[in-house]
Amino acid sequence: MTKIVRTAATEPFKPMPDDDMIVCRCEEITKGEIRKAVYDGMSTTNEVKRWLRCGMGLCQGQTCQKNVQSIISRELGLKIPDIGQITGRSPVRPVVMEVFANDVLDVHEEA
Amino acid sequence: MVTVAAEKKKASLIIIGGGVVACATAYNLAKKGMNDIIVLEKKEIGNGGSCRNAGGVRQSARDVRELPLAMYAVSNIWPTLSDELDVDVEYVQRGNLRLGKTEAHIKTLTGITKKSTDAGLDVKMITGDEAREICPYMSDEVIGASWCPTDGHANPLHTTLGFYRKALQAGVTFISGVKVNGIRKYRGRARFVDTDDGVYEGDNILLCAGWESRAIADTVGIELPIIREFSECMVTEMEPDMFPVMLGTAESDFYGGQTKHGSFVMGGMCGMEPYVSEKDRFITNSVTAPCLSRGIIKYFPVLKDVKIIRTWSGWYDVCKDKVPIIDNISEVPGLTIAAGFCGHGFGISPATGLAVSELILDGESHTIDISGLKYDRFRAKA
């Protein structure tokens, strides 16, 4: 990870005209909320995600991650690799629990 | 635009590790007027167990040595923490059910319950039907459970980052992306912290880096009996409010509950953990989520059609006797250690922050009794 020094903001938060634009559609998180999270000290894609839930919904950030990253990086003046990305995780698409649970069905039938 | 401060490498206190213990301690110290603190974090704030746990806040089934921390946190901190941190930490105190399906399970649960009641907690054994009254979606196969009404759960992400934000606002400096290699003494006191970003210097040093604390403590000759243990968690899609209780089972098939958001967060082990991962990356295994799903469906058949949307993993920092080490180190004046929380550190973290802040400022924890958590309690067989 890139070294990031975090200290308290010295100036008040500056709202922007398009702050009410929804960026994460699954969790309905706006650009303003993301900018405010960065202002509050969240300085990586994961930290903003954990604070706001953007990228934690059904699509797991597959739709919004790039936009979230570019907002964070612009606010901080850092490059995208510096702020990292959401860890890609199994399952790639939501899977019904009963289907997941059946992965040993064949073994059980033989036994 | 966030202002980036000029290079700061010297402070009254250097904290190694940026998890919930670091953030809560920094917050408590700053509240008492000591904010000349640098927190050094290898990756991101709360990237270890702090943000990977399922959020249990329980007093039941705790070792008596760490019970004072749990009782203090539940009585004095958790109920008002959302107001204090200015963020909804989603704390709910609606009880913890530990479920059993066989007579052997009931025997296990009765044993755990006795330990808790001996320690003065309100925990009791209830029948399967009584458990189903508390949580109607449960399978008829459940024949009994232990019930602790004062247990609950909270949101670990908001708690960890909430403490972080408050500490930051109070003047604490956090530096992420810096890996600590070791500690060095100067004139008999812990003083220097060697990192891949040069040397940091502090009048005091707090080491709270989870399982990785052991290698760092070793550089000043302190052996911490802590090993890491792998565990996985998963989360479902949003569901209507079904039950607010925290759940576990006698057989440890799974643990978890429903969050305020509506998703179920359930964790557990598949039994293959010691053999599947030697990597330091937080990988997940193809066999674990299916295994947890089977465990959950056995107790809650109604959840079989719910979709899993994500799995993740983390390391427990397991201490030899399953309770943490929270102490000032006599051989290394200036060094304080808080590590080895064994996977049940989140619920006590607000109280841990208070106790550690007193250890650092006053040399002892006078509000909460942590005398059972000393670093020199370990002995070889006589």
Summary mean pLDDT of chain B: 94
Give the per-residue pLDDT at A1. Answer: 80
Q: Name the band, by pLDDT with cuts 50, 70 and 90, for residue B6.
A: low
CA distance A31 to chain B (A): 14
Give the per-residue pLDDT at B116. Answer: 87
What pLDDT, in 10s, does the model give residues B206-245? 999 999 999 999 999 999 999 999 999 999 999 999 988 9
CA distance B279 to chain A (A): 16
Residues 49-88 of B with CB under 8 A from A: 51
CATH 3.40.50.300, domain B96-149+227-319, yes or no: no
CATH 3.30.9.10-classified regions of chain B? 96-149+227-319
Rounded to the nearest 5 percent, the helix, strand and coil shares of chain B are 30, 30, 40
> What residue of A is the nearest CA neighbor of B293?
A101
Q: Where are the beta strands (DSSP E) in chain B?
A: 10-16, 37-41, 56-57, 96-100, 124-127, 144-148, 152-153, 173-176, 180-186, 189-195, 198-207, 226-236, 246-249, 255-258, 264-268, 307-319, 325-328, 335-339
Nearest of B310, B255, B44 to residue A26 by alpha carbon? B310
DSSP secondary structure code for residue B2 in this structure = P
> What residue of B is the nearest CA neighbor of A27?
B261
Q: Give yes or no for residue A108 having a pLDDT over 80.
A: no
For residue B157, list chain A residues with Cβ-Cβ distance below 8 A.
50-51
Report the C-alpha gap between B343 and B322 in whole angstroms.
9
Give the per-residue pLDDT at B2. Answer: 46
Cβ-based neighbour number of residue B201 at 10 Å: 15
Nearest to B307 among A39, A51, A95 (CB): A95
Two tokens at B64? Answer: 């008596």
How, if at all, do strands B37-41 and B10-16 pair? Answer: parallel
Query: At a CB cut-off of 8 Å and minimum separation 6, what does A3 contact?
Result: B175, B176, B177, B178, B197
- Give yes or no for B361 touching A (CB within 8 A): no
CA distance B193 to chain A (A): 16
CB contact under 8 A, B289 and A90: yes
CB contact under 8 A, A8 and B286: no
Q: Of A27-41, A62-76, B250-264, B322-336, which gets the smallest average pLDDT?
A: B250-264
CB contact under 8 A, A97 and B42: no
Report the C-alpha gap between B11 and B34 in whole angstroms.
10
Q: What are phi and psi of B188, to 5 degrees?
A: 85, -10
Domains in chain A, please, with CATH?
Answer: 22-110 (1.10.10.1100)
Residue identified by tokens 């911490």 is B224
Mutate to test the interface with B, among A27, A50, A52, A106 (most CBs of B within 10 A): A50
Give the per-residue pLDDT at A107. Answer: 56
Report the C-alpha gap between A38 and A4 in whole angstroms.
13
- Give yes or no for A8 touching B (CB within 8 A): yes
Alpha-carbon distances of B327 from A39, B330, B356, B358, rounded to whole Å: 35, 9, 8, 11
Cβ-based neighbour number of residue B199 at 10 Å: 12
Report the C-alpha gap between A50 and A34 in whole angstroms.
11
Nearest of B326, B342, B272 to residue B56 by alpha carbon? B342
What pLDDT, in 10s, does the model give residues B292-320? 999 999 999 999 999 999 999 999 999 99
- The count of CB pairs under 8 A between chains A and B is 139
Q: Say what the ipTM of the complex is.
A: 0.94
What pLDDT, in 10s, does the model give residues B17-56? 999 999 999 999 999 999 999 999 999 999 999 999 999 9
> What residue of B is the nearest CA neighbor of A93?
B309
CATH 3.50.50.60-classified regions of chain B? 10-54+157-225+321-373
What pLDDT, in 10s, does the model give residues B94-120? 999 999 999 999 999 999 899 889 888
The per-residue DSSP string of B182-219 comes to: EEEEETTEEEEEEEBTEEEEEEEEEE--GGGHHHHHHT
Give the homologous superfamily in CATH for domain B10-54+157-225+321-373: FAD/NAD(P)-binding domain (3.50.50.60)
Q: Where are the alpha helices (DSSP H) in B304-373?
A: 349-362
- Give yes or no for A38 touching B (CB within 8 A): yes
Two tokens at B112? Answer: 């755990």
Cβ-based neighbour number of residue B370 at 10 Å: 25
Give the per-residue pLDDT at A110. Answer: 54
The per-residue DSSP string of A13-76 comes to: ----TTTT-EEETTTTEEHHHHHHHHHTT--SHHHHHHHH-TT-STTTTTTTHHHHHHHHHHHH
Nearest to B308 among A84, A95, A104 (CB): A95
- Give yes or no for A69 touching B (CB within 8 A): no
CA torsion, points B86, B339, B232, B41, in degrees to nearest 10?
60
- Give yes or no for A16 touching B (CB within 8 A): no
Beta bridge partners of B183: B193
The identity of residue A93, as a single letter, is R
Q: What is the pTM of this model?
A: 0.95
Q: Give yes or no for residue B1 having a pLDDT over 70.
A: no
Mutate to test the interface with B, among A1, A2, A3, A6 (most CBs of B within 10 A): A6
Q: Which helix (H) or strand (E) holds B133?
A: helix B128-134
Mean pLDDT across the stretch B111-139? 92
What pLDDT, in 10s, does the model give residues A47-84? 999 999 999 999 999 999 999 999 999 999 999 999 99
Percent of chain B predicted with pLDDT > 70: 98
For residue A58, list chain B residues with Cβ-Cβ distance below 8 A.
237, 309
Mean pLDDT across the stretch A22-34? 97
CA torsion, points B338, B80, B41, B364, in degrees to nearest 10?
-30
What pLDDT, in 10s, does the model give residues B307-366? 999 999 999 999 999 999 999 999 999 999 999 999 999 999 999 999 999 999 999 999
Give the per-residue pLDDT at A105. Answer: 58
Q: Give yes or no for residue B3 having a pLDDT over 90.
A: no
Give the per-residue pLDDT at A109. Answer: 57
CB contact under 8 A, A97 and B5: no
How, if at all, do strands B124-127 and B189-195 pair? Answer: unpaired
- Give yes or no for A85 touching B (CB within 8 A): no
Q: Are A68 and A48 in contact (CB under 8 A)?
A: yes
